[in-house]
Amino acid sequence: MKVFKFGGASLKDAAGVQNVASILQQFSQEQLVIVVSAMGKTTNALEEVVAAYVKQTGQAQELYEAFKEKHYAIMRDLFEPGDEVFTVINDTFVEGEWMLEEKPSDNYDYIYDQIVCMGELVSSKIVAAYLNKVNLKTTWLDARDVVATDNTYREGWVIWEKTQANAQKIVPPLFEQGNFVITQGFIGSTSENFTTTLGREGSDYSASIFSFCLNAESMSIWKDVAGVLNADPRLFENTIKLDRLSYREAIEMTYYGASVIHPKTIKPLQNKNIPLYVKSFLNPEAAGTEISSDLEEAYPPIIVVEKNQALLHISTLDYSFVAEHHMSRLFGKAADLRIFVNMMQNTAISFTICVTNVPDRIEKFIKAVSDEFKVKTEEGLELITIRHYNQETIDNLKKGKMVLFEERIRNTMHMVVKNIPPIERREVDLAGSKAS
Ligand code: ADP
Ligand code: ASP
Ligand code: MG
């Protein structure tokens, strides 16, 4: 049994769904668990529905209608009028409508998960119906019956033992009905049967959860790029495709923000030595990238840019040293607020951390420690990580940037930078008075 994952980009319209079906035709003799994301940018659209609903702006229904219509349009391109899929999807939409009619509870994250999961639910139902239509016998599985999480809404923590037991009990019998089982990425369920999500872009992680729990032979994620490249092609030209990567290398890249694979994806695969293939859905015959057990490869410089970073310079109000007991309090607070610390450095009287800037959280952090600490923040920064760096790459990356913080550990270099603003000509007369 193998696990395949198709993300939003591969399912953005009817032609995308047809292309996915044609890829799957090549694998009709194999047992596959197929994990799919919401279509295109649906999750962003549903986030807007949630925001409008919680704020009761009166626009939630309208935005929800637009979400529905987008899917109906795709279905009209894929199915004859009167196909039973229209009833199936309509029933799913109604569940969301009921929710929007009620008064919102005050738990934003809980509401978010109950509404945003609609994207994956309808996408998987539409794709299942289409695969069956083209004679690829496919059984639909509700991922929430398998993926058990705690009740940390929007970032559910997987309860592995329960998830594995569910997967091994529920999934194998489904293959008696046909070779393909399709399910949703991104979603799970609490012990009280409320929906949770696993964090944005979490469908890669879902595929990895299924792979681990079912001891898959391999996992393949189908992307709009040739494979894993040595840098994000949206930011750099002349990127190089990496044919093979070790788990370790892939973990390092994704941990520091290479968004091609969700950071939690690799570890479960590494634990069971399951190879991961990153393939192009635009060129399915091409080899892509193989990520597998540690290889002695010579890598080119690999660059990862994580935007939206902030530096927090922390010092004690009484000017004492920032010592271990302080750090334990600071890190405890950061963990409570789910602030992700990417780098740190301490001197005798100050402690600096580089964190991903999630709205509100830094403010909450500063407030929570303000009885003991003074915190100075610098926002709008980038964290650049270079694996296997050389001087030429470093020099190129520093152009136009001011380096605020830099660190080298073995073959990894990190730098926190800000763009140097263009120097404006100052209309100031050096004799003292302003020029006209
Ligand atoms: P999905 O459709 O599965 O959600 P994503 O859009 O999340 O796929 O991931 C694919 C995108 O990741 C690519 O289009 C590319 O812009 C981006 N990306 C960032 N870093 C890299 C990298 N190192 N190699 C390849 N793609 C990268
Ligand atoms: N649909 C979810 C998102 O956009 C999960 C995913 O695509 O991986 O974040
Ligand atoms: Mg994605």
CA atoms within a 13 Å half-sphere pointing along the CA-CB vector of 209: 35
CB contact set of 18 (below 8 Å; sequence gap of 6+): 78, 130
Three-state SS for 23-44 is HHHCCCCCCEEEEECCCCCHHH
Q: Which amino acid, 288?
A: G
pLDDT surpassing 60 at residue 433: no
The whole-number pLDDT of residue 296 equals 67
Instruction: Tell me which of 259 and 422 has the higher pLDDT.
Output: 259
Atom of ligand 2 nearest to the CA of 205: 8
By the 8 A CB rule, do 191 and 148 touch?
Answer: yes
Atom of ligand 2 nearest to the CA of 204: 8
The preferred substitution site among 43, 71, 113 for testing ligand 2, maximizing ligand atoms within 8 Å of CB, is 43
pTM listed for this prediction: 0.93
The whole-number pLDDT of residue 325 equals 86
Strand 187-189 and strand 195-197: pairing?
A: antiparallel
Q: Which amino acid, 76?
A: R
Residue of 245, 206, 235 whose CA lies nearest to 306: 235
d(CA 83, CA 433): 79
**Domains within the chain, CATH numbers bracketed:** 2-217 (3.40.1160.10), 302-419 (3.30.2130.10)
Atom of ligand 2 nearest to the CA of 38: 1
The whole-number pLDDT of residue 303 equals 97
By the 8 A CB rule, do 32 and 2 touch?
Answer: yes
The whole-number pLDDT of residue 426 equals 59
Q: How far is CA 230 from CA 226, 244, 263, 336, in A?
A: 11, 11, 16, 34
The whole-number pLDDT of residue 363 equals 95
The whole-number pLDDT of residue 212 equals 98
- Provide the pLDDT confidence category of residue 348 given band limits of 50, 70 and 90: confident
- Provide the pLDDT confidence category of residue 324 given band limits of 50, 70 and 90: confident
Q: Which amino acid, 69?
A: E
* Contact 205 CB / ligand 2 (< 6 Å): no
* Contact 37 CB / ligand 2 (< 6 Å): yes
Q: Write out pLDDT tens, residues 270-323.
A: 999 999 999 999 999 999 999 999 676 789 999 999 999 999 999 999 888 888
Section 209-220 average pLDDT: 98
* Contact 8 CB / ligand 2 (< 6 Å): yes
* Contact 223 CB / ligand 1 (< 6 Å): yes
Burial (0-12, 13-18, 19+ Cβ within 10 Å), 269: buried
Atom of ligand 2 nearest to the CA of 202: 8
DSSP string spanning 363-432? Answer: HHHHHHHTTTEEEEEEEEEEEEEEES--HHHHHHHHTTEEEEEEEEETTEEEEEEEEPPPPPPP-B-TTS
pLDDT surpassing 80 at residue 432: no
Residue of 404, 307, 393, 320 whose CA lies nearest to 357: 307
Tokens, residue 233:
């092609």
Residue 196 dihedral angles phi and psi, to the nearest 5°: -120, 160
Q: For atom 26 of ligand 1, which residue has the closest CA? A: 260
Question: Containing H/E element for 327?
Answer: helix 324-336
Q: For atom 3 of ligand 2, which residue has the closest CA? A: 201
pLDDT cut 70: percent of the chain above it? 96
DSSP string spanning 86-139? Answer: HHHHHHHHHHHHHHHHSPP-S-HHHHHHHHHTHHHHHHHHHHHHHHHHTT--EE
- Provide the pLDDT confidence category of residue 435 given band limits of 50, 70 and 90: very low
Q: How many residues does the chain have?
A: 436
- Provide the pLDDT confidence category of residue 436 given band limits of 50, 70 and 90: very low
Atom of ligand 1 nearest to the CA of 6: 3
* Contact 232 CB / ligand 1 (< 6 Å): yes
Residue appearing with tokens 């080298």:
408
CB contact set of 206 (below 8 Å; sequence gap of 6+): 5, 35, 143, 147, 183, 184, 185, 186, 187, 188, 198
Q: State the distance from the centre of ligand 3 to the C-alpha of 232, rounded, in angstroms.
A: 14
